[in-house]
Structure 1
Amino acid sequence: MLRKWGLFIVGLALILGGSYLAHAVQTSGGVTLKDVRFAGDPIAGEGGLTQSGLLYVPASATAAHPAPAVLASHGYINTREMQSPFAIELARRGFVVLAMDMIGHGYSDGAVGQSKDLGGPAALRYLQSLPFVDKSNIGLEGHSMGGVPVMTAAASQPDGYKAIVLEGSTPAFLGAKSPANPKDLAVVFGRFDEFAPLMWGVPKGSQVANSPKLARVFGVPGPVIVGKIYGVIADGSARVLENPPVTHPWEHFSYAGVGGAVDWFQKTLTGEANPLAPGDQIWLWKDIGTGIAFAGFVCLLIGAFELLLMLPVFASLNQPAQAPAQRRGGKWWLAFLLTAAVPALTFYPLMKLGNLFFPMRLFPQYIQNQLVVWALVNALITLVLSLALRGGKPAFTTDWPKSAAIAAATIAVGYLSLVLVEAVFRVDYRFWVLGLKPLDDRHALMAIPYLVLWAVFFLVALRALAANLAVKGEGFMVQAGAWKLAMSLGFVVLLVVEYATLLQTGLLLTPGEPLNTIVAIQFVPLLATVGAIAAVTYRRTNSYVPGALICALLLSWYVTAGTATHWYPGFKLPAPAASRSK
């Protein structure tokens, strides 16, 4: 009994323990966390879009004693949860924090490009409307593209804020309106930030102090001195540059990046109830908790699949695996190396090709469109390689209707767990750039067409795994480990090479691919998860189909919920030159 239920129980325990830890950290000191919606500005003659945010309210913030507040914004293809390190640390010090979803991201309506201010001015007005917020003590913080909404908010109300922190960002980013002379500005920019040329016009993040653009913003003739406060905080003219040894995605996930923002707001805003040293940080334990919950979610999915196979309706799916290979020979190792290497080697070229898959009504997410181009071309390559490598003919036992049903039921169990965790603990499953959120109605419909494309990829990829890498008599741990490595090792090597080069030289090996390199970080845990699911489902059913459909459902959910939406009524295709330079 325990053997059959073991993985399911382990998954539940990890989910509950990790979620409780995360909840305890983000509500430390009596902070209340609320999921809020508020009205956005009218768009192109339409009604205003509804915007989303997470509101952190310390116990000390009341209508009788309003507290200082900070509006925080995530970057491109992220969501409001990415700002939790800043929000947790500021809230436990007595600041009210609104972590917003930019327009076209998360649970906010609309699409990127539909609103040039990305919802910043409306979010600032909502924060100002709260009776427990001191309207004379509001700060603005934005990471990367999140600099757009906070700077446009500042431009919309020159007297509506007191200080700004730009984390890995820059004024007037993407042509957005910014104040000519922003009040009390801190720039936190990593020495290894991959976007230095785009943000500050210098080749490397370590050279940002020499940026002519930064000198103009600081109002100085020459290089900016790191750590020196220019101007006077009291009159709003202060400027400071922090240049910690972090990369772009570490700026919002490091003690240095978070500490720089906390320190600046404690210097420029007044009235926080619980001042603490900038280095006094606990936010990492929240991400450790939600990371444990993510691991529990994977265990829960596999455990649920095992339990569902015990039901009479799915009993016929139980079939012993009939691996075609007798041992790991030269052909096995060649298949392993190709499985690992080809997806990583084709990643950058095919993501570029994916730029031609423009957003449209059925497929409205630009980044996901690029990813499915990469996936489908790799499916084609896999088919060709499988024909060339064919050894013994695999004998699969496949029941398509029941395979689809058990895949849907397995994902439903995992989805229900996330919905309950979000309702009870106000957390989701995530660690750093890896994040799995519940789908709202809009994104649930959006995921359906993508599901079809992801299913094609996983049906081909997992069939190839079973046909080329399954070995007779091989133990589960060995097989699952080999399959996880086969799926993820290429991206591990890619990222090690890219970031080893960055740390040595200040530049990525492919300096023109900063965004796609950051996107690739998620591939390591996701593809390892795919390998584990593929191994379990194949061994239990002698079929690649249930695992492929589970993975297709999971990836279409994961990507759709976590990336940005671009298509909207009236969307116009970008010029070819613009698409090439994206």
Structure 2
Amino acid sequence: MRNWLAFALAWGLILGGAFFASRVQTDGGAVTITEVRIPAEEGVTVSALLYKPAGATAAKPAPGVLVSHGYINTREMQSPFAIELSRRGYVVLAMDMTGHGYSGGIVGTAGFGGPAALRHLKSLPFVDKAAIGLEGHSMGGGPILAAAKADPDGYRAIVLEGSTPGLLGAPAPENPRNLAVVFGQFDEFAGLMWGVPKGGDIETSAKLQKVFGVTGPVEEGRVYGDIAQGTARLLLNPPITHPWEHFSASGVGGAVDWFQRTIPAPNAKPVSDQVWLSKELGTLVAFIGLVGLILATFDLLIGLPVFAALAQPAQPVVERRDGRWWLMLAITAILPALTYFPLMKVGQVFFPMAPFPQWVQNQLVFWALGTALISLILGVFLKNRAVFTNRWVPAILASLATMAVAYASILVVDGLFKVDYRFWVLGLKPLDATRAMQLPGYLILWTLFFLVAMRGLAGHIAVKGEGLIASLGWAKIAMAGGFLIMVVWQYATLFSTGLLLTPKEPLNTVIAIQFVPLLGVIGVIGAWTYRRTNSYVPGALICALFISWYVTSGTANHRQPGFEPQLPGAAAPAKK
């Protein structure tokens, strides 16, 4: 009965959190959200979510805004902008860049999908074609600037959040109409974007001064040019980081304010009136419910006769937390953090190829497998004395069944509420057919890593006689503690000096943020399943399925049949 109650509670968190998030993002039902598929150049299809306020009709068209996420993200990352703009009466089209999410092609295909998305937005009968705005975060500046270049008179204003014209060679107009630049004082990409070492120095950027048409420092908050003539320029430089530009009141508020000034809102509201964070809290609750569902489902399964052989009490060999235990905890926690930057760098040689088309995920699995190899070498000297009860066939079947239930839950949430499991940089969504075909190759590699990691966790960190809460807590520290220290150290340095501890690693630093909660979840799953089976195998398999699903669903494709492999910083891809 207790297992069924836990199962029901998990579903309650999932459905309750998703329902609450849905009510927020639809403004209590006043905004409808629908899936859109848009044919684009080079034979690809662009995916998007359309936010339509009730007041937008063919008889009374509303202004529209096209919004785009950044690299290795998806359209849901722009929901704070979409929520705040749509509740003010704007029709919002939140697109997946090509090579991302459910859009086809690879990174950069068809102007990142921006021109096609803009054409679609302007084709809607309930959209005022003379009142169009464009907003993009980071690489998301690529599609909206490509759209502006393709249709110079087809929009009224642009907001670049942590972005820049011509990023990585992307097409862009020479003189964008009514441009606002929102760039954080602690943006990790200041050098790449604007050629200055720190985000707080952006007013001295020669590139920015050229865009603004001035010869000296740009004054923050001052409107240069004329809105009516389309020549207006505005710089906002709030004290935020690159990931906060799309997840902060100042980042979102800067875009909302500029659009309300340049494209009057049908239902204008003060910039301070923002509700998007409530939606994120709702989907966070649903994400927590998902973790609970995985644990509860596994418990229910091993109670069935077909999986009963898996149910074995854990037999830790560690008697107490002595010097050896603390050493193993330190190695387990710190080693992945120490290897992260060097192995991610070397992992760039793992180029996109047919079974492994995602360049960033290729680097991640290179890091994971390299760390596992080092762990195995250390294991020769730090022997794992644990005796495990490994039953591979039922473990494989139970793990698959557990994650099948977890995956079914996100299909339910997506179908009923049009939300996914996410909070800020953490996001998990259903796979489309293309990404589902990509998952098996990555699953094999992640499984190899987790078999090593979970064996070490169970054999070295578990202590005889410790309670459930202590066991889960220490497992989280062992798996995520090193990354937490690394991320805190990076950002403490950034906030105190204006530069990251590793200033040449901005992308990998941002990627590392999400691994703090992810590795914590992995620790919980590993400790939980070991306590019930005396085996590291079920936990390893569940974690491999979870992480390969997570990364594959949200990471960019750099190779697809019919397109030349495309890497960040290269020219636009050529069609075969």
TM-score, normalised to structure 1, is 0.96
- Secondary structure, aligned partner of 2:320: coil
Measure, in 2, the Cα distance between the counterparts of 1:576 and 1:100.
20
Q: Which residue of 2 aligns with 1:18?
A: 17
Measure, in 2, the Cα distance between the counterparts of 1:81 and 1:348.
28
Q: Which residue of 2 aligns with 1:535?
A: 527
- CA offset at residue 10 of structure 1? 2.0
Contact 2:359 2:567 in 1 (8 A): no
Q: Which residue of 2 aligns with 1:154?
A: 148
Total equivalences in the alignment: 570
- Secondary structure, aligned partner of 1:345: helix
- CA offset at residue 569 of structure 1? 3.3
- CA offset at residue 570 of structure 1? 5.7
- CA offset at residue 425 of structure 1? 0.6
Of the candidates 481, 491, 506, which is equivalent to residue 473 of structure 2?
Answer: 481
The reply on whether 1:38 has 2:12 as its aligned counterpart is no
- Secondary structure, aligned partner of 2:37: strand
1:174-206 deviation per Cα after TM superposition (whole angstroms, max 9, x unaligned) = 112211111100000000000000100111000
- Secondary structure, aligned partner of 1:522: helix
The reply on whether 1:189 has 2:183 as its aligned counterpart is yes
Of the candidates 233, 236, 247, which is equivalent to residue 241 of structure 2?
Answer: 247
Q: Which residue of 2 aligns with 1:556?
A: 548
Q: Which residue of 2 aligns with 1:234?
A: 228
Q: Which residue of 2 aligns with 1:312?
A: 305
The reply on whether 1:496 has 2:471 as its aligned counterpart is no
- CA offset at residue 327 of structure 1? 1.3
Measure, in 2, the Cα distance between the counterparts of 1:59 and 1:301.
38
Measure, in 2, the Cα distance between the counterparts of 1:70 and 1:578.
28
Contact 2:314 2:532 in 1 (8 A): yes
Q: Which residue of 2 aligns with 1:7?
A: 6
1:308-350 deviation per Cα after TM superposition (whole angstroms, max 9, x unaligned) = 1111100111111111111111111100000000100110000
- CA offset at residue 9 of structure 1? 2.0
- CA offset at residue 4 of structure 1? 2.0
Q: Mapping of 1:446-461 within 5 angstroms?
A: 446-461=438-453
Q: Percent identity among equivalent residues? A: 62
Measure, in 2, the Cα distance between the counterparts of 1:353 and 1:574.
18
What amino acid sits opposite 2:427 in the alignment? Answer: G
Unaligned runs of 5+ in 2: 572-576
What amino acid sits opposite 1:520 in the alignment? Answer: A
The reply on whether 1:360 has 2:353 as its aligned counterpart is yes
Q: Which residue of 2 aligns with 1:89?
A: 84
The reply on whether 1:298 has 2:257 as its aligned counterpart is no
The reply on whether 1:105 has 2:105 as its aligned counterpart is no
Contact 2:106 2:563 in 1 (8 A): no
Measure, in 2, the Cα distance between the counterparts of 1:175 and 1:552.
36
Measure, in 2, the Cα distance between the counterparts of 1:279 and 1:462.
46
Contact 2:472 2:528 in 1 (8 A): yes
Of the candidates 69, 72, 84, which is equivalent to residue 77 of structure 1?
Answer: 72
Q: Mapping of 1:170-181 within 5 angstroms?
A: 170-181=164-175
Contact 1:114 1:568 in 2 (8 A): no
- CA offset at residue 394 of structure 1? 1.3
- CA offset at residue 20 of structure 1? 1.0
1:493-551 deviation per Cα after TM superposition (whole angstroms, max 9, x unaligned) = 00110000000011001000000000000111110001000011001011000010000
Measure, in 2, the Cα distance between the counterparts of 1:574 and 1:184.
32
Of the candidates 182, 201, 205, which is equivalent to residue 207 of structure 1?
Answer: 201
Measure, in 1, the Cα distance between the counterparts of 2:235 and 2:441.
45
Contact 1:466 1:538 in 2 (8 A): yes
Contact 2:178 2:262 in 1 (8 A): yes
Measure, in 1, the Cα distance between the counterparts of 2:88 and 2:564.
45
- CA offset at residue 6 of structure 1? 3.0
Measure, in 2, the Cα distance between the counterparts of 1:577 and 1:193.
19
- Secondary structure, aligned partner of 2:299: helix
- CA offset at residue 398 of structure 1? 1.1
Q: Which residue of 2 aligns with 1:404?
A: 396
Measure, in 2, the Cα distance between the counterparts of 1:576 and 1:527.
27
Measure, in 2, the Cα distance between the counterparts of 1:223 and 1:500.
28
What amino acid sits opposite 2:465 in the alignment? Answer: G
Q: Mapping of 1:206-355 within 5 angstroms?
A: 206-270=200-264, 272-355=265-348
Q: Which residue of 2 aligns with 1:470?
A: 462
Measure, in 2, the Cα distance between the counterparts of 1:52 and 1:195.
27
Measure, in 2, the Cα distance between the counterparts of 1:37 and 1:575.
25
Worse overlay, 79-88 or 5-14: 5-14
Measure, in 2, the Cα distance between the counterparts of 1:7 and 1:573.
46
- Secondary structure, aligned partner of 1:233: coil
- CA offset at residue 571 of structure 1? 5.4
Give the root-mean-square deviation of aligned CA atoms.
1.5
Measure, in 1, the Cα distance between the counterparts of 2:216 and 2:34.
45
Measure, in 2, the Cα distance between the counterparts of 1:416 and 1:495.
33
Of the candidates 417, 423, 436, which is equivalent to residue 444 of structure 1?
Answer: 436
- CA offset at residue 387 of structure 1? 2.3
Contact 1:348 1:516 in 2 (8 A): yes
- CA offset at residue 469 of structure 1? 1.2
Contact 1:120 1:150 in 2 (8 A): yes
Q: Which residue of 1 aligns with 2:574?
A: none
1:6-59 deviation per Cα after TM superposition (whole angstroms, max 9, x unaligned) = 322221111111111100100005000111111111x2xxxx211100100000
Q: Which residue of 1 aligns with 2:539?
A: 547
1:385-409 deviation per Cα after TM superposition (whole angstroms, max 9, x unaligned) = 2221126x21111110100000000
1:227-264 deviation per Cα after TM superposition (whole angstroms, max 9, x unaligned) = 00001101101000000000000000000000000000
Contact 2:107 2:566 in 1 (8 A): no
Worse overlay, 365-374 or 273-282: 273-282
Measure, in 1, the Cα distance between the counterparts of 2:565 and 2:250.
40
Contact 1:21 1:289 in 2 (8 A): yes
Which of structure 1's runs of 4+ aligned residues deviate more than 3 A? 569-579
- Secondary structure, aligned partner of 1:232: coil
Worse overlay, 169-178 or 123-132: 169-178
Contact 1:331 1:389 in 2 (8 A): no
- CA offset at residue 465 of structure 1? 0.8
TM-score, normalised to structure 2, is 0.97
Contact 1:113 1:566 in 2 (8 A): no
Measure, in 1, the Cα distance between the counterparts of 2:343 and 2:192.
22
- CA offset at residue 5 of structure 1? 2.0
- Secondary structure, aligned partner of 1:390: coil
